[in-house]
Homo-oligomer: A and B are copies of this chain.
Amino acid sequence: MFFGLREREARSKPEVPSGGKPRLKRKKKETTVNKASLKTAPIGVFDSGVGGLTVVREIVRQLPDENIVYFGDTARVPYGSKSKNTIIRFSEQIIRFLRTKQVKAIVIACNTASALALDAVRHEFDVPIMGVVIPGARAAVEATRRKKVGVVGTDATVRSGVYTRVIQGMNPQIEVTEKACPLFVPLVEEGFKEHVVTKEIIEHYLKSMRDGDIDAMILGCTHYPLIRSKIREYMGDGITIVNPAYETAMDLKILLEKRELANDRSGMHSHYEFYVSDAAEKFRCFANTVMPFDVPETNVVNIEEY
């Protein structure tokens, strides 16, 4: 809708393979036009539901000139309790949908999908795809002094052990403690942020981590930044809370600059489109509490068809 003109332009142009270079190179002029068109193409961002909006918020802050197409899989949320094969299948469908919007890069703004599906889909699609795990892990590696990092996330993310592998790949001396906190997502979704039970459930999950000796903790689920202040309050000042959303936005910036894909047409009004697989109005209301602007009309997509 917002990208009508650009979509029509982009459809007749070659796509960017994972190497970031256009396929057709015969005519210099054509390549230049293509690159210019790609630069204004949107970033695709997806999540199992509303959590990924915390990543969109950071991208909007750090890369205000970029256009964004967001997809939230509200018909099949949550992902955190589901299997690897299912998460890969869901992610493939969403990426196929985002490709129809001529996105120039894709951010998996969901820790579970980043943990379970990123490796698989990266090899399958010829568009740059990044997740939130590596940026978050790097920030924690930089933040820890005692070489002890904690990670909180969904069941699926923690079971995958991806944060431990990535962190220890960066620095094998770092000790990583992971803890699944499956009730955090429904507490956020049901608006229990300020209720006393949220504090009790935080204590239930995080007591042993607080009593241990970590000095950095990754919020390894995009929903968790929405109760960040409660988690920070419980964990105390001695522990740096890492929200991978900020790091992800910064990594995206580097990726776009490296591949000459950053939108340099500054001054133009950026466009944001929101799609979900169900309950568009509920999503839009929630999104309006997270985003720094009025979220426009949200459209429902039958994602199983992709």
Contact = CB atoms under 8 A, between A and B. Distances in A.
A197 B204 contact: yes
Given A75-B86, A304-B304, A196 B200 contact: yes
A172 to B, nearest CB: 32
A83 B302 CA distance: 13
A32 interface: no
A98 B192 CA distance: 38
A279 interface: yes
Contacts of A77: 81
Given A186-B186, A187-B183, A204 B200 contact: no
A189 interface: yes
A278 B183 contact: no
A200 B198 CA distance: 11
B83 A279 contact: yes
A21 interface: no
B75 A82 contact: yes
Contacts of A200: 196-197, 200
A22 interface: no
A298 interface: no
A82 B86 contact: no
A192 B204 CA distance: 11
Contact of A75 (B76, B195, B282): B76
A190 interface: yes
A186 B197 contact: no
Nearest to A198: B197
A82 B197 contact: no
A182 interface: yes
Given A197-B200, A304-B304, 11 more contacts: A75-B82, A76-B76, A77-B81, A81-B279, A83-B278, A86-B277, A86-B278, A182-B189, A183-B192, A185-B186, A200-B200
